Chain A
Amino acid sequence: MNLPLTPSQTVGPFFAIGLSTSVGSHAVPEGTPGAIRVTGQVLDGGGMPVPDAIVETWQAEGTGRCATDDEGHFAIVTVKPAKHAGVTPPPEAPHLDVSVFARGLLSRLVTRMYFPDEEKANASDPVLRALSTHDRATLVAGREGSGLRFDIHLQGANETVFFDR
């Protein structure tokens, strides 16, 4: 039996009343060894911040969710994921699976955030290797203070690489 899928619709502008309190911006508890603060900005094709987006990170260690503020900023506290057990070679570099929802997006966008201190693993990651140098750069976080910076460009010259689902 194959049931037909329920289609996606936009999260709309008012999701904060339904989604804000249930899952927090801490994918792991404060003080977890190795905890990293990932901050970033969601930007539209005009370079303007997107103040009504929601960014979710997904990994075995925990789920993070953060709505963007008036300047399009989000912040999620998480840890670098352990290597995915059971994935057939070639091995993938550690990364966060990231979902982006927003008013103006009818369907979920899926991307990945890779870690800047994993140069060797990133260089052999099969997903990164399939991309141009320019595109690859949109998926590798930068360093910001003691944390990481991961901006998400929905459009434009630096449009983030998004994946088919």
Chain B
Amino acid sequence: MAGSRRAVDPPNDSPAYRSSELRAPKRPLRPLPGRLSEVTGPLLGDLVIGPSDSDLTRQHSGEPLGERITISGWVRDERGVPLPGALVEIWQANAAGRYAHDVDQHAAPLDPNFSGAGRCRTDADGNYRFVTIKPGAYPWRNHPNAWRPSHVHFSVITAAFAQRLITQMYFPGDPLLAFDPVFNSVPDPEARDRLIARWSLELTQPEWSLGYEWNIVMSGPDATPQHEDPAA
């Protein structure tokens, strides 16, 4: 399966994304035939995750401002096999489009009831679920009048080094998507659209919150996976 990521991932050398200019490697990636996915590591087993870690609206004494949403979906490999126990971490701006991070100087208010970070593990069927608020769009300095579409950052760690993924989830119908160099760095339009969650009536809770479904497909497995016991 090595190399299949290349067909969907954005090239690091993407001039429309200005920050890539001095950071994207200039030399071609070297082949590492059949080796990457053979390495398995422990699944961060000592990490303690509590209930409020996956509910970003309950991490403070009050409720955050904004549109309450559920984001849920599955994590599978390319064969469609569910990946239980994967560590899913998210971070995002608040409803006003401001991150609770020192470097974010956007003139929008912080929300004392929203830190904007959560984590969970996928269950036995490879499913994850977060409750949060819909993040706001925010300006950045990539080009004149540039605005990032609403998005949630996702990090997924499984037992396989080859599968490590960090990406962003977007919302359907966002007019800013067409102008965003990060979203549009994915060359294949179909692959790009897989970054957009689907609004889901089933996940929408009456009188409470809107629901979005977003599924994640990780690379692999290798043709002959080796599940070595790290303690052995």
Give residues in A with beta carbon < 8 Å to B: 1-19, 22-23, 44-46, 48, 50, 52, 56, 58-63, 84-87, 92, 97, 99, 101-110, 127, 130-131, 154-155, 159-165
Chain B residues in 8 Å Cβ range of A155: 22-26
- Report yes or no: B24 in contact with A105, Cβ–Cβ below 8 A: yes
Q: Distance (Å) between the CB of B121 and the closest chain A CB?
A: 11
- Report yes or no: A18 in contact with B23, Cβ–Cβ below 8 A: no
- Report yes or no: B119 in contact with A3, Cβ–Cβ below 8 A: no
Chain B residues in 8 Å Cβ range of A159: 25-27
- Report yes or no: A18 in contact with B117, Cβ–Cβ below 8 A: yes
- Give the distance in Å from the alpha carbon of A18 to the alpha carbon of B41 in the complex: 21
13 additional A-B pairs beyond A5-B8, A60-B41, A107-B5, beta carbons within 8 Å, are A4-B190, A17-B116, A22-B87, A22-B89, A44-B23, A59-B41, A61-B42, A97-B161, A104-B24, A106-B14, A154-B24, A155-B23, A165-B219
Chain B residues in 8 Å Cβ range of A13: 101, 103-104
- Report yes or no: A62 in contact with B32, Cβ–Cβ below 8 A: no
- Give the distance in Å from the alpha carbon of A2 to the alpha carbon of B12 in the complex: 25
Give residues in B with beta carbon < 8 Å to A: 2-12, 14, 17, 19-27, 29-32, 35-36, 38-42, 44, 47, 76-80, 87, 89-91, 99-101, 103-104, 115-119, 153, 155, 157, 161-162, 164-168, 182-183, 185-186, 190-192, 194-195, 215-219, 226, 228, 230
18 A-B residue pairs with Cβ-Cβ distance under 8 Å, sorted by A, are A7-B191, A8-B165, A9-B153, A9-B167, A14-B91, A16-B101, A22-B119, A60-B42, A60-B228, A86-B228, A104-B17, A104-B20, A106-B9, A106-B20, A108-B166, A109-B25, A164-B6, A165-B219
A6/B26 contact (C-beta < 8 A), A16-B101, A104-B20 known: no
Q: Distance (Å) between the CB of B132 and the closest chain A CB?
A: 12
- Give the distance in Å from the alpha carbon of A101 to the alpha carbon of B24 in the complex: 11
